[in-house]
Structure 1
Amino acid sequence: MSSLTKLNFKIISHLMGLLLMVNGGFMLLSAIVSWYYNDGKLNEMLLASAVAVGFGAAVMLLTRNHRKEIQKREGYIIVAFGWIFMALIGTLPYIFTGAISSFTDAFFETMSGYTTTGASILTDIEVVPRGVLFWRSITHWIGGMGIIVLAIAILPLLGIGGMQLFAAEAPGPSGDKLHPRITDTAKRLWLIYVGYTVAETILLKMAGMSFFDAINHSLATLSTGGFSTKNASVAFWNDNPMVQYIIIVFMFLAGSNFVLSYFAFKRKFQKIFQDEEFKLYSIFVVALTVVAAFLIYFEADLNISSISHPMVWGPVENAVRHSLFQVLSIITTTGFVTADYTLWTPFLTIFFFGMMFLGGCAGSTAGGIKIMRHLIMIKNGVLEFKRTLHPHAILPVRYNSKAIPQPIVYNILGFFILYMLSFIVGTLVFSWLGLDFQTALGGAASTLGNIGPALGNLGPVNNYAALPDAAKWWSSFLMLIGRLELFTVLILLTPFFWRNR
């Protein structure tokens, strides 16, 4: 019997249908926004929702008699293809409303949304109908904590266990769980996620944003996505520092492990202060901000380089705010913009490019390599010096005072090598497709790390509209494998995944 016949295709298809129905439900919510703001696209948004829900319901109905069991291989297939099918059906609001006429562009924008990359092909965001803009932000929000984590929170209704899905989807290498049952863990994570989103929306509204802008930027911040409702991104509010400071706080929270937020609400602050990854994450943010602010104040001309440049609270505050905002935006892979950092100084351009390889904490909505992996690689590198001097000594890598099993260390080292190889190949393909060296380099780092703004022609004040179609499809692939942490997608391309067990 072949390996393919052993796969539970009915449960795979059934869950694909479930995800498409969830997609359609959020499209209906976007249709309500379209109706409320009377943007003239209500019927088109309703049609997109009906197609998604109808197709998903038909698939679920046809596969209702399935074996309620998910093995590891089915989990990987559901996650990888779930994202692809969600992105495909997610193009409907753009195409039906005419906001994006090209299917390639619509798929790019949707994949960028679900993977929380924030790269856009829209050249004039402010003329896009509000229902479509809200859908664009919602794709961020769904993808932020993960489509599959959302699904496993309701899998008990179907009588299906979700551990295999969570293992494939959960962001980062952390295995922390808040509750023994995986579905309860997902519900708690989503409760925190929703709570932060509501809190930021209220604070941004109080700070002077319109309600529509506030909720869209909250959806983008907590998902570390970066889609804005303004052409100038958050630089539109450069004359309102409070708006930017609120976003700074929630970018920091979104880039930290959500498990630590749960501990904070339970008043277990000791667990937060003892977490080595969180401490290194905080040190990185502070140290990099100090360096950037120093150089901005003494060497860069914000009056020239900023997209908008009012000195509301003085030049020192202006330098600190812009540097802190951009450091957090890049490290957490949010991708919001308050200034064009590529015009500050050549050193700062390379400085911010290097940050694209950091990433947020494991268990956060951020993309990238993740701080935990960097920490463990640094610790293992230091231990290699000791092992050289003491070859017979047993020197395990420790994290949070616990020895890390060697297979996990090997996995992290393998991930880093694979990530860098993907970056190199990504750059080469972009160059082959006609991009100049700086643009290809920045584009590969940005799409693989799910960041958004890059370098060259893809810098903070540019977008991806001018890319050839082939480069947009390649970008979409890099965004997908980056968001799903490489192994989940690339393992499907290996022959042994499909062989007999």
Structure 2
Amino acid sequence: MSINYKIIFHFFGLLLLFNGGFMLLSTLISLIYDDGVTLKLFMSGMAVLLMGAFLMLITKDHRKEMNKREGYMVVTFGWIVMAISGALPYMVTGVIPSFTSAIFETMSGYTTTGATIINDIEVVPKGVLFWRSTTHWIGGMGIIVLAIAILPLLGIGGMQLFAAEAPGPSADKLHPRITDTAKRLWLIYFGYTAAETVLLKVAGMSFFDAINHAMSTISTGGFSTKNTSIAHWNDQPIIQYIIILFMFLAGTNFVLSYYAFKGNVQKALKDEELRWYFKFIASFTLIAALTIYFKADLSLSSIDHPMVWGRAESSVRHALFQVLSVITTTGFITADYTLWTPLLIVFFFGMMFLGGSAGSTSGGVKVVRHLILIKNGFLEFKRALHPNAVLPVRYNTKAIPGVVVYNILGFFILYMLSFIVGALGFSFFDIDFKSSVGLAASSLGNIGPALGAFGPVNNYAALPPLAQWWASFLMLLGRLELFTVLILLTPFFWRNR
């Protein structure tokens, strides 16, 4: 069957309408704060809206059928379309005049990576800063899932898109209709964002800072309105504890949040991945906090802010914040953890490969995949001793089909190969070893802060233009969990069947 290109471009038009609409919202913020770029943002939004309307108009007679091939194309190329159109506000306003750097910043936003090439964030017009955070918020739950919520108006089913957007080991839906699933997930997503905004405002942030950081936290993105990120509020621990809470929630499976809100808390608490997610965070925080307390010099890494509640509290808070920030791939910082101890540098680098829960907005490999890999590894010892025994891998007391285990093994191998190739790619641009491996792990895991020259207190402005394109590709590859992008590079995908 030939590819239905008309429905693909029709969907691109829909995505552009979304993008343009959110740009106009940023225009309103610009108008309220009178930041001098209102007209430019308005022109950007209208241009994107018109482009979207034009694409939808010329493809209105499309065949309303979508198979998996079209689903993969819409997701992958849809993100690219959004990144290209989303770069327009940066270039038109002159905040990022370079097309390459604007694409990098936008791809970093939509993939919720949080890496930036902007040297002085605090002088950027508020309308542009809001747009920057909005790219996180849109990308956090997935542009495609957002669009699925209104696809019934077009007479198009959305299951193929959902499978391509969320290719994790399980497809736990809240409702038989995928559109209702998307709506429920977005309702929870919006509710968390609103709740964090209110709490941060009450805790002492300005409303503008509060809503921007809420959007970045819930999306596990990491863009901040301050040059020193969350370290700007190191003298206000309550703000950091609020962000800690919502980073934890953003890194959990949103389906479990839905069950909890419906009153089925026990079902959420019995989830094996959630329990191990909590155990990983608790144990890693304990290790980091003890190391910081006894060995690290917090005065060097806390970015010019004093410890306010004693060394023990500061050690635990910084440890918990940075562990959550890395595991959930949010990328906020309260301190330069690369200055603590060599042990913690390696420790945090290792956590870049963990990731949050499946069904969350975080990147990385995901906790459930690690659990199944570890369980399968232990079972291999038993199988060696008892070759005729039937020993299935169990998750949440249920046996996991062998094909799922093989899929996870394949994913992990591809992930590590992508990391190695990613690091080789950065080294090709004469970037040193430490920085190259840090950049590859950070870009692929959608984390943000890397190591070496691109560590927590540095940005990506020094990255060569071609390296920015390479990093952007790795961000997209990691955000769409490898298969969705790599399948497009195989020759059999394009053969008519």
Is the aligned partner of 1:347 residue 2:335?
no
Which of 196, 211, 214 is the matching residue for 1:215?
211
CA distance in 1, matches of 2:406, 2:167: 18
Counterpart contact for 2:288–2:344, Cα < 8 Å? yes
| Cα displacement (A) at 1:148 | 0.2
- What residue in structure 1 maps to residue 287 of structure 2? 291
CA distance in 1, matches of 2:134, 2:219: 10
- 1:332/1:99 Cα in 2 relative to 1: closer, same or farther (>3 Å)? same
- What residue in structure 2 maps to residue 188 of structure 1? 184
Equivalent residue letter for 1:326: Q
| Cα displacement (A) at 1:69 | 1.0
Residue-by-residue CA offset, 1:314-360 (whole Å, 9 max, x unaligned): 11000000000000000000000100000000000000000000000
Equivalent residue letter for 1:127: V
CA distance in 2, matches of 1:383, 1:348: 31
Which of 382, 393, 397 is the matching residue for 1:397?
393
Which of 145, 165, 168 is the matching residue for 1:169?
165
CA distance in 1, matches of 2:440, 2:101: 18
* Structure 1 gap ranges (5+): none
- What residue in structure 2 maps to residue 497 of structure 1? 493
- What residue in structure 2 maps to residue 453 of structure 1? 449
- What residue in structure 2 maps to residue 385 of structure 1? 381
| Cα displacement (A) at 1:500 | 2.8
Aligned alpha-carbon RMSD (Å):
0.7
- 1:270/1:313 Cα in 2 relative to 1: closer, same or farther (>3 Å)? same
- What residue in structure 1 maps to residue 195 of structure 2? 199
- What residue in structure 2 maps to residue 97 of structure 1? 93
CA distance in 2, matches of 1:486, 1:9: 23
Is the aligned partner of 1:433 residue 2:390?
no
Is the aligned partner of 1:361 residue 2:362?
no
Shifted more, 449-458 versus 304-313: the winner is 304-313
CA distance in 2, matches of 1:493, 1:363: 26
Equivalent residue letter for 2:230: V
- Describe how 1:56-75 pairs up with structure 2 within 5 A: 56-75=52-71
Q: TM-score, normalised by structure 1?
A: 0.99
Equivalent residue letter for 2:72: Y
Is the aligned partner of 1:417 residue 2:413?
yes
CA distance in 2, matches of 1:497, 1:229: 42
CA distance in 2, matches of 1:410, 1:324: 34
CA distance in 1, matches of 2:37, 2:87: 15
CA distance in 2, matches of 1:403, 1:171: 20
- What residue in structure 1 maps to residue 149 of structure 2? 153
Is the aligned partner of 1:247 residue 2:243?
yes
CA distance in 2, matches of 1:142, 1:42: 21
Equivalent residue letter for 1:432: F
Which of 45, 48, 54 is the matching residue for 2:50?
54
| Cα displacement (A) at 1:308 | 3.3
Counterpart contact for 1:171–1:362, Cα < 8 Å? no
- What residue in structure 2 maps to residue 471 of structure 1? 467
Look up the SS of the partner of 2:387 in the other structure.
coil
Equivalent residue letter for 2:77: F
CA distance in 2, matches of 1:325, 1:174: 29
CA distance in 1, matches of 2:379, 2:352: 26
The count of corresponding residues between Structure 1 and Structure 2 is: 497
- What residue in structure 1 maps to residue 5 of structure 2? 9
Structure 1 stretches of 4+ with a deviation exceeding 6 A read: none
- What residue in structure 2 maps to residue 108 of structure 1? 104
CA distance in 2, matches of 1:171, 1:71: 15
Equivalent residue letter for 2:210: A
- What residue in structure 2 maps to residue 32 of structure 1? 28
Equivalent residue letter for 1:392: N
Equivalent residue letter for 1:398: R
| Cα displacement (A) at 1:309 | 3.3
CA distance in 2, matches of 1:395, 1:228: 48
Look up the SS of the partner of 1:185 in the other structure.
helix
Counterpart contact for 1:308–1:339, Cα < 8 Å? no
Residue-by-residue CA offset, 1:408-444 (whole Å, 9 max, x unaligned): 1100000000000000000011001110000001000
CA distance in 1, matches of 2:88, 2:494: 32
CA distance in 2, matches of 1:119, 1:308: 22
- What residue in structure 1 maps to residue 120 of structure 2? 124
Counterpart contact for 2:330–2:448, Cα < 8 Å? yes
Equivalent residue letter for 2:70: E
Counterpart contact for 2:322–2:333, Cα < 8 Å? yes
| Cα displacement (A) at 1:273 | 1.8
- What residue in structure 1 maps to residue 263 of structure 2? 267
Counterpart contact for 2:364–2:446, Cα < 8 Å? yes
Which of 297, 301, 306 is the matching residue for 1:301?
297
Residue-by-residue CA offset, 1:67-93 (whole Å, 9 max, x unaligned): 111100000000000000000000110
Which of 135, 142, 162 is the matching residue for 2:131?
135
Counterpart contact for 2:234–2:302, Cα < 8 Å? no
Is the aligned partner of 1:42 residue 2:43?
no
Look up the SS of the partner of 2:287 in the other structure.
helix
| Cα displacement (A) at 1:171 | 6.1
User: How many percent identity over aligned positions?
Assistant: 72
